[in-house]
Amino acid sequence: TGGPVATAGPVAAAGPAAAGRSLAAGGPPPTILALHHPPEPPSSHPWFQLAGAAELLDGLVSRPQVRLVLSGHLHQPFEGRRGHLGLLGAPSTLYGIRHRGSGWEPDDTVACGARVLHLDPDGDWSSELVGISPEVGAVGGPGSPGRTVADVQGGPGS
């Protein structure tokens, strides 16, 4: 999704159709789809939207072998559901962002780290967040470039 400097991301024109063909009935269960931009973000800001997401999700919900959609881009972990489909967002490894409706701001209190998936052979899954303790006064963890919240006020990609 997206491009070299894009903040919002589109599903490629062939994306939903190609995914539908690849995940046709009887496809390989269980399946996880990973995207950069979340298809159903907990933010309404235009930078964090995925154009074509509704069509993509409608297609995925109709395919029971698809169990999870993983995404990033928000710099804030989240969990959601659409029917049987789990929607998981990963945290940033550099700096966190707090989302509130159409507003957002860098926030040192939002956990940085990773989301670890535990996958069972029958398609069940669980996940956990593994955190990185931020250095005092800097965004990111040990070994980070030491960027402060003021350095990232311009938004993602700035």
The residues, any chain, with a CB within 8 Å of residue 62's CB and separated by 6 or more, are none
pLDDT at 25 over 60: no
Do 71 and 89 contact (CB within 8 A), yes or no? yes
Orientation angle between helical segments 53-61 and 15-22, nearest 10 degrees: 10
pLDDT at 92 over 70: yes
Within the chain, how many helices (H) and strands (E) appear? Answer: 2, 10
pLDDT of residue 150: 38
pLDDT at 80 over 80: yes
Q: Coil, strand, or helix at residue 42?
A: coil
Cα 105 from Cα 152, distance rounded (Å): 9
Q: Judge residue 109's burial from the number of C-beta atoms within 10 Å of its C-beta, 0-12 exposed, 13-18 middle, 19 or more buried.
A: exposed
Of 22-31, 117-126, 130-139, the poorest mean pLDDT is in 130-139
The residues, any chain, with a CB within 8 Å of residue 10's CB and separated by 6 or more, are 1, 2, 50, 51, 52
What does the DSSP 8-state code read for residue 56? Answer: H
Bridge partners for 50 per DSSP? 9
